[in-house]
Amino acid sequence: MRLVQIQFAPWDKVYNFDPNGLDIQKGSQVVVKTEMGLEIGEAVGFIVLDIKEKAEDKDQARESGTPQDKEITLKDIKPVLRLVTLVDLEKKPNQEEKERAIEYCKAVAAKLGLPMKIIDAFYSYDGSRMTFAFIADTRVDFRELVKELTHRFNRTIRLQQIGIRDEARVIGDYGHCGRCLCCRGFLKELTSITSEMADAQQCAHRGSDRLSGACGRLMCCLAYEEKGYIEMNKKMPPVGAKVNVDGKKGVVVGHHILKQSVDVEFPPEKEGERPMRAEVDLNRKKK
């Protein structure tokens, strides 16, 4: 079954919905029904899944959108209602109204002495709910803040803590490459970036400052070529392996993955001399 992946806010999860026969393209704005009510979301991608029909009553088969990391059954899938219209878009608050709400929330949080940074505000389609996204180093008791915001906006208020990488996605910036941040542009799903990726690509020695993005975490682009490096590394003899190079026996002491070569250390020919090292191309013609 082909599902469309919908995201309601840049920092929100991606949810799977049934396209319902509509001509939905990546980037399309659509109206869907969720457990919280009607919402406007953006199509960020598509996925094909083998849906298990566990619903006994097929009339109840489309009851809720579901996050993409959840085991999906037919009854979990909800249909897209329609593509957005001008009437739908007119109901959305404009950027100026949104910024005023964020500034007010920041002011109240500062007055209450809450150690949190307000990043974004999201309005529900029907206007009955507002969600403020924030980052914080520790757990924050924001009950008084919610009371203040509820009184001010006369709506149901939710506060959602997000990660520092989500902050970079919302605010936007430029990376070391000079281009707009990947997460701000095309990268909709933030995967886990580990130091092992830097080790596999032999760039860990550059230091965390050069490998970190605007968010302070390891750059997402470290994941782009990881599989290629892993495949190339499989062709390399392991460090410590004994090899024979043109009749000389040596030990592999280092790798150059992109060049597909290895450093080989040969024992000294005479007593008192230092071992000799040489870079050996794995694709060279053997003599």
CA distance 141 to 145: 9
Mapped onto helix, strand or coil, the DSSP state of residue 60 is helix
The predicted structure's pLDDT at residue 62: 37
CA distance 105 to 202: 45
Asked whether residue 132 carries a pLDDT value surpassing 90, the answer given is yes
- Of 35-39, 96-100, 159-163, 185-189, least confident by mean pLDDT is 185-189
H or E element that contains 231: helix 226-233
How would you classify the pairing of strands 2-7 and 117-123?
A: unpaired
Please report, for residues 49, 248, 252, 267, the alpha-carbon distance to residue 287 in angstroms, rounded to integers and kept in the order given: 53, 12, 19, 21
Instruction: Supply angle C-alpha 81, 85, 89, rounded to 5.
Output: 110
Exposed/middle/buried for residue 166 (C-beta within 10 Å: 0-12, 13-18, 19+): buried
pTM over 0.85: no
Task: Give the pLDDT band of residue 100 (cuts 50, 70, 90).
Answer: very high
The predicted structure's pLDDT at residue 67: 55
Q: Which residue has the tokens 């979301």?
A: 41
Asked whether residue 256 carries a pLDDT value surpassing 50, the answer given is yes
Query: What average pLDDT does this structure show over 247-266?
Result: 90
Half-sphere CA count of 264, side-chain side, radius 13 A = 20
* Fold of the 93-162 domain: GMP Synthetase; Chain A, domain 3 (3.30.300)
The predicted structure's pLDDT at residue 168: 82
Instruction: Supply angle C-alpha 149, 165, 172, rounded to 5.
Output: 80
| DSSP-assigned beta bridge partners for residue 132 | 121, 159
**205: Cβ–Cβ under 8 A, 6 or more apart, which residues?**
none
Q: What percent of the chain has pLDDT over 90?
A: 33
What are 45's two structure tokens? 């991608």
Domain map (residue ranges) of the chain: 2-90, 93-162, 165-230, 242-281
CA distance 210 to 229: 20
Query: What average pLDDT does this structure show over 118-131?
Result: 90
Q: Which residue has the tokens 């599902």?
A: 3
The predicted structure's pLDDT at residue 56: 43
Asked whether residue 33 carries a pLDDT value surpassing 80, the answer given is yes
Half-sphere CA count of 226, side-chain side, radius 13 A = 15
The predicted structure's pLDDT at residue 37: 81
Please report, for residues 13, 42, 52, the alpha-carbon distance to residue 71 in angstroms, rounded to integers and kept in the order given: 15, 22, 9
What are 85's two structure tokens? 């219209």
| Mean confidence (pLDDT) of the chain | 85
| DSSP-assigned beta bridge partners for residue 120 | 133
The predicted structure's pLDDT at residue 61: 37
The predicted structure's pLDDT at residue 174: 84
Asked whether residue 15 carries a pLDDT value surpassing 80, the answer given is yes
The predicted structure's pLDDT at residue 63: 41
Residue 67 phi, psi dihedral angles, 5° rounding: -60, 150
CA distance 46 to 19: 10
Name the residue with higher pLDDT: 116 or 170: 116
